[in-house]
Every structure is written in structure tokens, then in C-alpha cells.
Amino acid sequence: MCPSEVSDIEFSLWRRYQAQGLVVWGIGGEDDIETLRRFRDQMGLTFPILYDAGTLVLNTYGQLRHQFGTRYPQDWIIGPDGRVLYFNDEYDNDAMADVIEAALDEAGQ
């Protein structure tokens, strides 16, 4: 996980849209769980950092990577119905905020 990116997600997206129903998960499987916990604590993150033991999440959404790209880190916005609403492999806060706002509007939030 990229420190500057997760910090920006924490303050520009998570804290901004959390009360409207946004759920943010950081997912890591390349580092062990203790490393992920230390990273979360050092960064002061309040959204959950999940350990992808056995790369279940990577394998589930990884099947779509040929459509979206293979570079890391990646940002995915998944709608309440499980559909991929947005993907990037170059962080774009404004684009993510636009997608989040549209999804929240659609959901009546």
C-alpha cells in the first residue's frame, strides 16, 4: 500500500463520505498481518486494513485484471451489488470522489 495514497483516501474520501455510507477497506496480501497492522497504526488509519490470506480477494477480482490492468497499487470502487464501478492503477482522488458521489446519489444517500 502506498502511504501517501492511503493517507489521502483516509482524509479526502473516507472521512468525507463515511457518514453517507461509504465503506473503505484497504486490502493487503503481500505483507504479513503484523506488518499491515503496524502500517495502519503508523499511518493513523481508521478504515479497516484487511489481510487477504490466501489471496482470495485478489483471485476473485484478479480475474478482471486483464480488463483493468496489472500495476499496483490499485484502487477499486465496488458498488453495493458487487459490480466494479471504478478501477485505477494511478491514484486519482477527484475521479474516485466523482464515482463515489454518483453512487451515493443513485442510492439516495
* CATH code, domain with 16: 3.40.30.10
Our count of domains for the chain comes to 1
Among candidates 60, 56, 39, which has minimal Cα distance to 48? Answer: 39
Averaged confidence pLDDT in the chain: 85
Which structural domain, as residue segments, surrounds residue 40?
Answer: 3-106
pLDDT tens, position by position, 9-59: 999 999 999 999 899 998 887 788 899 999 999 999 999 988 888 878 777
Percent of the chain with pLDDT over 90: 41
For 76, phi and psi rounded to 5 degrees? -125, 140
Cα–Cα distance between 99 and 86 in angstroms, integer?
7
Please, where are the H alpha helices in the chain? 3-8, 15-17, 33-43, 56-62, 65-68, 93-106
The length of the chain in residues reads 109
Tell me, what's the pLDDT at 74?
A: 79
pTM passes above 0.85: no
